[in-house]
Amino acid sequence: CIFLTMSPTTTGCTITPKYTIHVVNKLPSPQLNLHCASKDNDLGYRTTSENYDFTWKFCESFWSNTLFFCSLAWKNNHVSFDVFKSKKSDECFDGTCYYEIWEDGIYFAGGNAPRILQKKYDWQQ
């Protein structure tokens, strides 16, 4: 796991809520290519193998305008989507947004385990 903390303190957020995002590769070979970022924070390009959990933590903006997005590519498929948007932060109850990347699409669950995943996005070709 990779944890990126984008807050002024290591103990947590003092004024705004803290969120954790998981993007978990459940695809077989070949590897998944992903790039996640916000307006202010580029988390970089990654090539991930099966079961890799790309995870980061951040404090929501004081102005409630935080947006993180990811772009994924696998074989001839690609998709870009918002993984966190302040206006929909209630979907990430318990402060957790959890995504699993499968051959038939991208699944989402808010909150900690046990998770009930629902398909949220289809691959584009």
CA proximity to 44, closest of 58, 34, 52, 53: 34
Q: Which tokens sit at 93?
A: 């109850």
- Residue indicated by tokens 């924070």: 41
CA proximity to 72, closest of 5, 109, 125, 2: 125
Distance CA 90, CA 101 (A): 22
Model's pTM, two decimal places? Answer: 0.87
pLDDT digits (tens, 9 = 90+) for 23-41: 999 999 899 999 999 999 9
Which one of 3.40.1710, 3.10.310, 1.10.10, 2.60.40 gives the CATH number of domain 18-122? 2.60.40
Q: Which tokens sit at 11?
A: 């103990």
Q: Which tokens sit at 79?
A: 């998709």
pLDDT digits (tens, 9 = 90+) for 56-99: 999 998 888 999 999 999 999 999 999 999 988 889 988 999 99
